[in-house]
Every structure is written in structure tokens, then in C-alpha cells.
Amino acid sequence: MAFDEDRVRGIADRVASSTGLEVVEIEFRGGGKSRMLRVFIDKPGGVTHEDCASFSREFGTILDVEDAVPGGMYVLEVSSPGLDRKLNRAADYERFTGSRVKLMTREPVNGNRHFEGRLESFREGTLTLDLSEARKKRRPEPGTPQKLEIELANVEKANLVPEI
């Protein structure tokens, strides 16, 4: 029986919502005796060590009782997504509007695939990046737009940029 990510995510979402947490991402890696299930959780204001520990205890117990991770031993790791968290879903882009982001597109936009700027808005599957702050560090090419619209479907990878 194979790993059923939807089933495991459903259990994780149930446990998280009962404690005011959000499941950001689930990863299942490895094989044989080196299997690892990694769950990233978050909440407004950030998660504490105790949040991770309680979630891990409750979630791990349910996984074991329901045999949701078949195939023997595995390591369960629960942590926060960090300051440079990944942006995966539309809800992430809505939540972090106003934040600095770094992203890579699948297809080039204006001849480039790598961008860093402030996420100005996210509407109807399109995000608008304000590139003016990042450009202050280096001289922009003449005629380069300060704002750029990118379709979410074209985003290959995106992360928050910590602001200190």
C-alpha cells in the first residue's frame, strides 16, 4: 500500500484546525528504514516549540492508530515554515500581500525568470510585484517596468524574503 498524501493531509488539517494551526506543507521522503514525514505548521504570530510538540503528539497518535503511513517505521518531523517560507497556494499569496518575495517562473517574463520585489496584490490568479525596492540595489535597465504581473500558473517556486 502506497503513501496516501491526501489522507495524511486530511488528518493533519483536522488536528491543526482543532488547535488554531494551519498545515502549510507536507513532505514524505526516503524509503526503507529512512522514511521521513515532514509537516510544516503555522499560525498568525508564528508557532512555538510547544505548538509543534503538541501537534506532533496528537497527529502521530492518529497516524499510528489509523495506520495512515503503511510500511513500518518512519520519522515524523513537525516544524514552522521559517521566515523564508514557501508560497504554494493562492491563499498564501493573499495572506502575504505586502511582503517581499523572491520567485522563479516556469516561462520567462520580459526575458527573465528570477524576480524579487514586494507582492503588491493578488487577484484572479495574477500577482503584481513591485520591483522598485529591489532595483535600488542595482541600476535597472532603461525601460524596465517597476511593476510586473505574473500568472500564478507560471510561478515555479516562491518564498518570502525576511525583512529585518
Q: What percent of the chain has pLDDT over 90?
A: 66
- pLDDT > 80? residue 145: no
> Distance of CA 136 to CAs 100, 109, 132, 156, Å?
14, 20, 6, 25
Range with the poorest average pLDDT among 144-148, 154-158, 159-163: 144-148
pLDDT digits (tens, 9 = 90+) for 90-111: 989 999 999 999 999 999 998 8
Tens digit of each residue's pLDDT (9 = 90 or more) over 29-71: 987 778 999 999 999 888 999 999 999 999 999 999 998 988 8
What dotted CATH number matches 5-79?
3.30.300.70
The partner residues of 101 in beta bridges, in order of sequence, read: 117, 160
- pLDDT at position 2 is 64
* Summary mean pLDDT of the chain: 89
CB-CB contact of 78 with 52 (8 Å): yes
Q: Which option is the CATH number for 90-160: 3.40.50.620, 2.30.30.180, 3.50.50.60, 3.10.450.630?
A: 2.30.30.180
Going from N- to C-terminal start, the domains of the chain cover 5-79, 90-160
pLDDT tens-place string over residues 119-140: 999 999 999 999 987 655 555 5
- Tell me: the pLDDT tens digits for 73-87? 899 999 999 889 999
